[in-house]
């Protein structure tokens, strides 16, 4: 527990050595100036501080703001409206809970920010992040799962499920649909105002510029029609390029009318992608499967090197390795998601893992759920990652190779993999990257 000191006024920065016999100090207060990129708001002054050079093992709890520039191992929980700031020298190996968590140093563990979590350019998080709002500055490192966006209201989720079960999926195939009234098969009617209250149809108050009005015919809006972008857009950096994505346009069109929904992004947690879907009312989970697979292979190699007998106890077949990997990844309840961004990951994973993973995704998707996947028509020369720039554009980021390409899938092999889905459309770009949508 710490001792509360006088508040530091904003604008005071720097670190002062704490008393040798105390774990509390008012020094190391964060500066109020914004980050160089201007992407994150300024820090609030800390009411208490664990200064550089102080190490605490155990449970730290409190109800005041806390600035950590030292080392904490165990558990760190702040109640009420408290803000936790991890300074540039801070290192925390603990599960942390606070209303707001600002990371300028390192955290290893689960991070729960009831309101928001901010990762500055010097911040590093290894573990799970759960929050309503997430801000990630360029240069920050995030390894693990992310759940961002407001929790879906259970009543709305049940109503949305019934909405899909009656044949009104987000892809525009709405039966018995007039301009102002949506008629259910059982003869009942849902007025547009009622749909607004449920977060269906034209979306909800947290969604800006994405949902369009229902039309009298099933596909009266052209799939290629633009959808307004939400959040700031920026010019690509030198190592980036952009590509028009017809697959993304079709993906969003299938989600139009869903209102609140849940999305699983199996690539890195990019700020632009998170903003794009959170602003539209989606709860977003992000899990970098490719980086997780690389870490798993490294751990397996280390284990086998240190324990020669492990070869006799472990199933070393590709199928056995895939089973062990999925036992610790993609762990979500059945029928959790409405949509999945699969990107081009399958080209870089072992075929045995690909087969099991696609089967798992089929279980995680709700009926009518949609997957956007990409497949290279030939072995890729470099390695790239993708993030959403706007409703019809992807930013393509050149990156160091995480895992080498494993296989180039032919159309028949893709159809066999997704036998439980129905393929809606495929698009081939000039870069020979095939974008394909699958609906459960």
Please give the chain's pLDDT, 440 residues, in tens.
Answer: 444 444 444 443 444 334 333 333 333 444 444 444 445 555 455 468 999 999 999 999 988 899 999 999 999 999 878 899 999 999 999 999 999 999 999 999 999 999 889 999 899 998 889 988 888 888 888 887 888 876 654 444 444 444 444 433 444 333 333 333 222 223 333 333 333 333 333 333 333 332 222 222 333 333 333 333 333 444 455 578 999 999 999 999 999 877 778 999 999 988 899 989 988 889 899 999 999 999 999 999 898 888 877 778 888 899 999 999 999 999 999 999 999 999 999 999 999 999 999 999 999 999 999 999 999 999 988 899 999 999 999 999 999 999 999 999 999 999 999 999 987 789 988 888 999 999 99
With tokens 């005071």, the residue in question is 12
Closest CA to 130 of 114, 108, 154: 114
Q: Exposed/middle/buried for 97, CB within 10 Å: 0-12, 13-18, 19+?
A: buried
Inter-CA distances, 276 with 58, 129, 206, Å: 39, 18, 12
Quick one: pLDDT at residue 228?
A: 32
How far apart CA 418 and CA 435 sit, in angstroms, is 14
What are the backbone angles phi and psi of residue 190, rounded to the nearest 5°? -120, 110
Question: Quick one: pLDDT at residue 151?
Answer: 61
Give the ranges where 166-288 is alpha helix by DSSP (H).
192-198, 246-255, 271-278
**Which two structure tokens, joined as six digits, stand for 313?**
């106890």
Q: What are phi and psi of 322, to 5 degrees?
A: -65, -40
At residue 112, φ and ψ (nearest 5 deg) are -120, 110
Whole-number pLDDT of residue 161: 45
Q: What is the pLDDT at residue 149?
A: 78
**321 sits in which H/E element:** helix 318-326
Q: Of the candidates 66, 133, 122, which has an alpha carbon nearest to the alpha carbon of residue 94?
A: 66
Supply φ then ψ for residue 391, to 5 degrees. -70, -15
Residue 242 tokens, joined:
């952009």
Nearest alpha-carbon partner for 196 in 249, 162, 159 = 159
341, 286 contact by CB (below 8 A): no
Rounded to whole angstroms, the Cα distance separating 245 from 313 reads: 46
Alpha-carbon separation of residue 225 from 93, 245, 248 (angstroms): 48, 12, 12
Beta bridge partners of 181: 191
H or E stretch including 290?
helix 289-306
> How many CB atoms are located within 10 Å of the residue 238 CB?
6
The closest of 363, 367, 373, 358 to 338, measured between CA atoms, is 367
Amino acid 55: pLDDT: 92
Residue 315: burial class (beta carbons within 10 Å; 0-12, 13-18, 19+)? exposed
| Strands 83-86 and 66-68, bridge-based pairing | parallel
pLDDT in the model for residue 80? 76
pLDDT of residue 370: 95
């Amino acid at each position: 527990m710490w001792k509360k000191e006088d508040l530091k006024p904003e604008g005071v920065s720097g670190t002062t050595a704490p008393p040798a016999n105390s774990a509390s100090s008012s020094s190391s207060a964060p500066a109020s100036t914004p980050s160089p990129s201007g992407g994150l708001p300024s820090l609030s002054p800390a009411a208490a501080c664990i200064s550089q050079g102080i190490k605490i093992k155990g449970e730290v709890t409190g109800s005041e703001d806390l600035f950590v520039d030292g080392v904490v191992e165990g558990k760190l929980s702040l109640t009420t409206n408290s803000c936790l700031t991890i300074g540039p020298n801070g290192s925390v190996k603990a599960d942390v809970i606070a209303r707001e968590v600002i990371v300028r140093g390192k955290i290893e563990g689960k991070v729960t920010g009831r309101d928001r979590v901010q990762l500055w350019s010097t911040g590093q998080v290894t573990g799970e992040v759960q929050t309503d709002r997430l801000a990630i500055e360029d240069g920050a490192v995030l390894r693990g799962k992310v759940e961002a966006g407001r929790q879906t209201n259970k009543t709305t989720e049940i109503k949305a499920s019934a909405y899909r079960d009656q044949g009104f999926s987000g892809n525009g195939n709405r039966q018995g649909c007039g301009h102002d009234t949506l008629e259910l098969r059982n003869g009942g009617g849902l007025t547009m105002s009622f749909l607004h209250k449920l977060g269906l149809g034209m979306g909800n108050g947290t969604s800006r510029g994405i949902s369009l009005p229902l039309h009298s015919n099933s596909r009266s809006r052209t799939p290629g029609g633009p959808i307004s972008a939400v959040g700031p857009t920026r010019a690509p950096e030198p190592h980036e390029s952009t590509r028009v994505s017809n697959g993304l346009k079709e993906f969003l069109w299938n989600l139009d009318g869903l209102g609140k929904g849940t999305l699983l992004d199996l690539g890195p947690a990019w700020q632009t992608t998170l903003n794009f879907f959170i602003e539209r009312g989606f709860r977003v989970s992000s899990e970098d499967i490719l980086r997780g697979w690389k870490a798993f292979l490294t751990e397996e190699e280390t284990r086998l090197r240190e324990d020669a007998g492990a070869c006799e106890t472990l199933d070393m077949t590709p199928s056995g390795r895939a089973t062990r990997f999925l036992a610790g990844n993609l762990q979500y309840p059945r029928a959790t998601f409405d949509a999945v961004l699969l990107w081009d990951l399958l080209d870089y994973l072992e075929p045995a893992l690909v087969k099991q993973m696609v089967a798992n995704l089929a279980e995680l998707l709700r009926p009518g759920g949609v997957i956007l996947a990409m497949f290279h028509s030939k072995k890729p020369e470099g390695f790239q990652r993708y993030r959403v720039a706007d409703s019809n554009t992807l930013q393509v980021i050149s990156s160091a190779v995480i895992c080498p390409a494993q296989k180039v899938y032919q159309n028949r092999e893709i159809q066999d993999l997704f036998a439980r889905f129905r393929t809606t459309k495929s698009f081939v770009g000039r870069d020979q990257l095939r974008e394909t949508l699958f609906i459960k």
